[in-house]
Chains A and B, each alone.
Chain A
Amino acid sequence: MFCEKATELIRELHRASDGQLPSYNEDGIRQVLEEMKALYEQNQSDVNEAKSGHSELIPTIKFRHCSLLRNRRCVLAYLYDRLLRIRALRWEYGSVLPNAVRFQMSADEVLWFNQYKKSLATYMRSLGGGDGLDLTQDIKPPKSLYIEVRCLKDYGEFEIDDGTTILLKKNSQHFLPRWKCEQLIRQGILEHVLS
């Protein structure tokens, strides 16, 4: 049966719910594209036959054509859904992705991510009368400028506003400017402690 590989691609993403990024299925995509190529070539020659009178071929041609369209739809859905997930990473993790996530992406996806990152940065720099504005900050309305945080893992040295550095050691607790640590919280390095 045609289109089985393509459906498998969709299932793969469907199983990984919650915006997780499964590794790019290069092999699956290649197989679908090969199937599409074969369908196309067979149809080309049958279309010529049909034109010269073999109209009994028309249902078969139609069948292959449907399969082609179905394959295309699945591949596009697969690629597009992945792009949406990758775009969300920029807002959740920040501009530097952990290796574990990057290894899941194809070379083209990495390229796309870098370009998205760049155009977002350009846009954010242009805001606020040229001063720039980080749109990924303060996703929730802030209650205070400083917040209490606890370290969940050893992170190392961390420079704060006034130029001093502090050591972020596992289980140590700090009182830091909110904008400095929001991203580290989202990355799971710090934990926001509510007073």
Chain B
Amino acid sequence: MEASEVEFLAEQEPVTIIPNFSLDRIYLIGGDLGPFNPGLPVQVPLWLAINLKQRQKCRLIPPEWMDVEKLEQIREQERNEATFTPMPSPYYMEFTKLLLNYAADNIPKADEIRTLVKDTWDTRIAKLRLSADSFVRQQEAHARLDNLTLMEINTTGPFLTQALDHMYKLRTNLQPGGSAQSQDF
């Protein structure tokens, strides 16, 4: 998958906005939207929120977790634990990027948030590499990758699967009559 496709999936997630216009409920294949009343909070998919925000039709309410104190806690927990801790949203990276790029003025301490989320991401990716290495070193048969998000898996996935594939072939070599024999030249 490409990063832009992962982002596309994230854009279906709901987010709360406060519109400054009024519009009746609209009915779409993906679900109904609205009704929109000036000053009344309403939940819409992220893609619509960003589209409205770009046209200055609404104010965005950041998700609860997008808060310096909460993110500091998440970052510390991620640093302290050996396994992957659950993230506040399966699309925390995508949300952070999209909201900070298009609606930074609605998010208090946007720059600090950007840094905190990036720190957490870096910690998790370093962990992922560490566990991939010990997985390979110990020739494990399976690994638990609970709490990894799609974007994280997507960034390292092709490399890891290709590496494990290769290792599998080398391991079948160990058994006499392994797969190498069947490959004809």
Contacts and interface: CB of A to CB of B under 8 A. Distances in A.
Interface in B1-27: 2, 4-5, 7-8
Contacts of B2: 140
A141 B8 contact: yes
B185 A141 contact: no
Q: What is the interface residue range for chain B against chain A?
A: under 10
Nearest to B3: A140
Interface in A46-93: 70, 73
Contacts of B185: 70, 73
A108 B75 CA distance: 60
Contacts of A140: 2, 4-5
A73 B183 CA distance: 13
B184 to A, nearest CB: 8
A141 B94 CA distance: 15
A140 B6 CA distance: 11
A159 B38 CA distance: 41
Where chain B touches its partner, the secondary structure class is helix
A9 to B, nearest CB: 16
Interface bin, chain A: under 10
Interface in A110-164: 140-141
A141 B8 CA distance: 6
A140 B5 CA distance: 7
A141 B7 CA distance: 9
Nearest to B8: A141
Contacts of B5: 140-141
Of A70, A73, A140, A141, the most chain B CB neighbours within 10 A belong to A141
Nearest to A140: B4
A138 to B, nearest CB: 10
A73 B2 CA distance: 35
A140 B4 CA distance: 7
Interface string B146-185: 0000000000000000000000000000000000000001
Contacts of A141: 4-5, 7-8
Interface in B39-79: none
A140 B7 CA distance: 11
A72 to B, nearest CB: 11
A62 to B, nearest CB: 15
A152 B7 CA distance: 29
A121 to B, nearest CB: 26
A32 to B, nearest CB: 17
Nearest to B2: A140
A46 to B, nearest CB: 23
Interface in B59-113: none
Interface of A: 70, 73, 140-141
Given A70-B185, A140-B2, 7 more contacts: A73-B185, A140-B4, A140-B5, A141-B4, A141-B5, A141-B7, A141-B8
9 contacts: A70-B185, A73-B185, A140-B2, A140-B4, A140-B5, A141-B4, A141-B5, A141-B7, A141-B8
Closest 8 CB pairs of A and B: A141-B8, A140-B4, A141-B4, A141-B5, A140-B2, A70-B185, A141-B7, A73-B185
